[in-house]
Amino acid sequence: MSTDHQAGQPQPDERLVEAFASAAEASIGYELDDEARQIVRETVKRHQTMAMKLRAAPLANADEPDFAFVPYRAEG
Amino acid sequence: MAGDIYNRTIAELGKLLRNRETTPTELTRMYLERLDSVARRYNAVVTITEERALREAANAEAELAAGYDRGPLHGIPWGAKDLLAVEGYPTTWGAVPYRDQTFDADATVVRKLRDAGAVLVAKLGMVELAGGMGYKQPNASLTGPGITPWQAEESPSWSGGSSSGSGSAVAAGAVGFAIGSETWGSIVTPSAFCGITGLRPTYGRVSRHGAMALSWTLDKLGPMCRSAEDCGLVLDAIAGHDPADPTSSQRDYAWPPATLRTSGFRFGVLSDATAGVQPEVRANFEASLAVLEEIGTVEVVSLPDLPYNDVASVIIQGELASAFEELMTSGDVRELTAPEDRVNGLAALALPAHVYIRALRVRRLIGRAMDELTAWYDALVAPTLPTVASPIDQPFDRYFDRSNRSPLGAAANVAGLPGVAVPNGVGERGLPTSLTLVGRAWGENDVLAAARAYQARTHWHTRFPL
């Protein structure tokens, strides 16, 4: 994590942003132009910023995700 | 008859039918004509389901004539957001890549409304893929930008999204009511911008079977109507458990409730409810609070400090990446109407699983915190949106700052809480403003009763744009 000195807000690690932006582009079967590539990069950066905010919420190991898995058994 | 019928509520239309002042077929033909001649101007219509409508209307007519009454929706024409499957008609999800898509069965909501005797007259316009790809301006649908019927000639403005056609068709009197869907704001926003009453039910109250999935854990279907009373009547018909949707609840729902309160409500007003809102939005909200004080108590409250908007965003991104993975990886996403929608979702393909799971873990904290807060009140109240509808030809961020959106909407959607948006005045450029009431989980009847009591003391929901 780096720091944006102007805004005083922590900023996502640029290496992570580059890595996830590259992974997103590699996931699709076609080439992006420079403008689209920049949008993907900015969106990844927003995702990383959101992830940092989520990490600030206090969670213990026992705090489970809010979904329940229900084992399946067909009727009859 | 035709001149003033289009602004009638469901109860008023039902009275006309039962007094034999009109018939389901006559009513249906009037709405079919209205959809074609008026609602299309607002890009509200994808498909007019004329053949089915006339068949259902004839059935309703025969049944009512024979004394078989299916209830308040019997013979009432309605419209479905075009993410609901309807057998025999295209279901486009508002998006060019799916314009010829068909399903061989009705969505559960469509079937339930058919069983209640309602008459499906149209499939209504929507923002492509329910807005999940991050559209930034109104022109993001295969039917064109949604336009609110208010001031449509003088100052054409956005209808709101993603249930854009549902909002503008109800406002224009082209359907008796409509069904919309909300993942994060998609019922309450068009309800606010079109000056109608919209209900976001508790997550799980209404089956999602047969509806397009944007986010399986956030999507809700709900009524968009001319009054809170109408929303209750429609919810009564569509609520309930559905084996085809395991997330649908076994809890019973009925409208009207056994005891319908008209006073004695407890309201919580968010301490920062009017921060950054337009002056008219603020003035109308303060006037609304004065009305709410006539029917209950009003206390200032604060939302617990939690990352509501971030949790909502991450969950939607994580789930849409899976729901639309093939669309994005194949390149078909490049056929979407809004240029930004062709690219904005791609980054979600690389959203780490641990970030999504963390959002779900924080969601549980939010659910508990919101329940502790809402347990004390019948409704938390705030302006539905900080502004009126933006001009139709402008990007959203030129008119309002999306980062300024109230955390209440995200908190309520993340926690799955019900909320109703009701018109509460006139704002900039003569456009409607709106009040939102958010309740405790499964507390639809508390917010609807409060909204109904508010509407009994105000006239904003009776105004008609045409």
Q: What is the ipTM of this complex?
A: 0.90
pLDDT in tens, B360-388: 999 999 999 999 999 999 999 999 999 99
Q: Inspect the interface and report whether the beta carbons of A28 and B328 lie closer than 8 Å.
A: yes
Q: Inspect the interface and report whether the beta carbons of A40 and B346 lie closer than 8 Å.
A: yes
Average pLDDT over residues B40-62: 98
Position A7 confidence tier, pLDDT thresholds 50, 70, 90: low
Whole-model pTM: value is 0.96
Position A75 confidence tier, pLDDT thresholds 50, 70, 90: confident
Position A8 confidence tier, pLDDT thresholds 50, 70, 90: low
Chain A residues in contact with B317 (beta carbon < 8 A): 47
CA distance A76 to chain B (A): 16
Which neighbouring-strand residues pair with B77? B119
Q: Inspect the interface and report whether the beta carbons of B364 and A66 lie closer than 8 Å.
A: yes
Residues of B near A (Cβ–Cβ under 8 Å) read: 134, 217, 246, 306-307, 310-311, 313-314, 317, 328-331, 334, 340, 342-344, 346-352, 355, 357-365, 367
pLDDT in tens, B202-238: 999 999 999 999 999 999 999 999 999 999 999 999 9
CA distance A14 to chain B (A): 15
CA distance B74 to B114: 9
Q: B165-174, B283-292, B363-372, B393-402: which has the minimum mean pLDDT?
A: B393-402
Query: Is the per-residue pLDDT at B465 higher than 80?
Result: yes
CA distance A37 to B267: 47
- Mean pLDDT across chain B: 97
Query: Is the per-residue pLDDT at B249 higher than 50?
Result: yes
Position B402 confidence tier, pLDDT thresholds 50, 70, 90: low
Query: Is the per-residue pLDDT at A5 higher than 50?
Result: no
